[in-house]
Amino acid sequence: MTSTTHVGFNHLEHNAVEKLMSNGRNHPDVQDKSVFPPGQRPDMSQIMNHGVSETVMKSMMDIAKEFFEMPVEDRVSLYSEDAQQAVLVSTSFNVTKDEFFEWKDYLRHPCHPLEKFINSWSQKPAVYREVAGKYCKEIRVLVLRLLAAISEALGQDSDYLNANFGRKHSQELQINYYPSCPNPDLALGASPHSDSGGLTVLMQGDVSGLQVLKDGKWFAVEPIPNAFVVNVADQIKVVSNGRFKSAKHRAITNTTTARISIPTFYGPSCDSFIAPATSMVDEEHPALYRGYKFEEYMRIFWSKGLMSKSILDRFKIETSP
Ligand code: OGA
Ligand code: NI
């Protein structure tokens, strides 16, 4: 059933073939929308004893590579310009809003509860669902352990974040594909941001590109075989009342090698209430943020393109000096 011609494409798919970075077309130069303005060009931890099987990790990375090495025709049916589409292939972050385009394509889909979503995933490559399904299950076990450990670090019982995130935790799997780039100094694979959910567990392949901002400087987070990068995202920053930072990070490109990274974005139910935990607030540590329903945060998240100011600024409580 694999079609290798453009015959039969609808208008949107045709548009997608043109836009996707991974379409095999040569991009001889970074032009127009992919040139980031000067000044915007180019506490994460890496965990080793994470309990996720090395075989499952490797199979996931291999299938991700296969997905983006298929002819573009085989993934274009999942393309949408609506960044909130549940199962989505797209480019940059939000093509209808981004002022500049990131040098990447991605596949994203929900994965918890698995039985609810697995049949909506890509049918190509043939074993995609099986392989990604196993990976998502193991990652969730890891995330729940991390949430328990963070809950205890916040002076709460181990079930605190699990309960606080509501009944329908959201788990999204994303595969980022960054093609090699002729002008890495002009473009960015992922522009500076903090992640929106609770926690991100990122598998980087063996190509470097991830950087984290610390004391105003960008530091490379070099890939370590079989390790995950764990990244606190905005909601845990709020619940911890700023004790856990949601590190700003970005991804740069290189001239020779395509890079794949596979983040799992794990977060609360849209109806859960996010606020600094009472154990984190006292006279010396006044609440830094007002409480809000997570969907309020996400409404702002989806209304913006890249490089907007931190969404959390909107929820900050101004303290008098
Ligand atoms: C992301 C992200 C970094 C990377 O997708 O949110 O930060 O290394 N990716 O690809
Ligand atoms: Ni990120």
Domain-embedded: residue 61:
yes
Could you check whether the bond before residue 71 is cis, i.e. omega within 30 degrees of 0? no
Could you check whether the bond before residue 286 is cis, i.e. omega within 30 degrees of 0? no
Best residue for ligand 1 mutational test, from 175, 249, 260, 264 (most atoms within 8 Å of Cβ): 249
Domain-embedded: residue 5:
no
Q: How far is the CA of 283 from the centre of ligand 2 (A)?
A: 33
**Dihedral angle computed from the Cα positions of residues 124, 129, 135 and 136, in that order, rounded to the nearest 10 degrees:** 120
Length of the chain: 321
Please state the atom number of ligand 1 nearest to the C-alpha of residue 195: 6
Which positions ≥6 away from 87 have C-beta within 8 Å? 78, 108, 109, 110, 120, 121, 122
Which positions ≥6 away from 298 have C-beta within 8 Å? 196, 270
Mean pLDDT, residues 215-222 taken together: 92
**How many angstroms separate the CA atoms of 78 and 97, rounded?**
19
Domain-embedded: residue 300:
yes
Domain of 276: which CATH number? 2.60.120.330
Residue 221 CB less than 6 A away from ligand 1: no
Q: Tell me how far the alpha carbon of residue 40 is from its chain's centroid.
A: 20
Please state the atom number of ligand 1 nearest to the C-alpha of residue 178: 10
Best residue for ligand 1 mutational test, from 91, 202, 228 (most atoms within 8 Å of Cβ): 202
Q: How far is the CA of 129 from the centre of ligand 2 (A)?
A: 24
pTM of the model: 0.90
Residue 249 CB less than 6 A away from ligand 1: yes
Q: How far is the CA of 252 from the centre of ligand 1 (A)?
A: 10
Phi, psi of 251 (to 5 degrees): -130, 130
Domain-embedded: residue 136:
yes
Domain-embedded: residue 156:
yes
> What is the structure's pLDDT at 27?
65
Domain span holding position 164:
44-315
Q: How far is the CA of 108 from the centre of ligand 2 (A)?
A: 13
Q: How far is the CA of 264 from the centre of ligand 1 (A)?
A: 10
Q: How far is the CA of 307 from the centre of ligand 1 (A)?
A: 14
> What is the structure's pLDDT at 33?
64
Domain-embedded: residue 229:
yes
Nearest CA to ligand 1 atom 1: 263
Ligand number with the minimum distance to the CA of 209: 1
- Domains contained in the chain, number: 1
Domain-embedded: residue 18:
no
59: which 2 tokens?
């199979």
Residue 194 CB less than 6 A away from ligand 1: no
Residue 37 pLDDT > 80: no
Residue 3 pLDDT > 80: no
**pLDDT one-digit tens code per residue, 255-280:** 999 999 999 999 999 999 999 999 99
CA-nearest of 243, 240, 239, 204 to 224 is 204
Domain-embedded: residue 141:
yes
**How many angstroms separate the CA atoms of 170 and 266, rounded?**
6
**pLDDT one-digit tens code per residue, 150-197:** 999 999 999 999 999 999 999 999 999 999 999 999 999 999 999 999
> What is the structure's pLDDT at 183?
95
Please state the atom number of ligand 1 nearest to the C-alpha of residue 200: 6
Q: How far is the CA of 126 from the centre of ligand 1 (A)?
A: 26
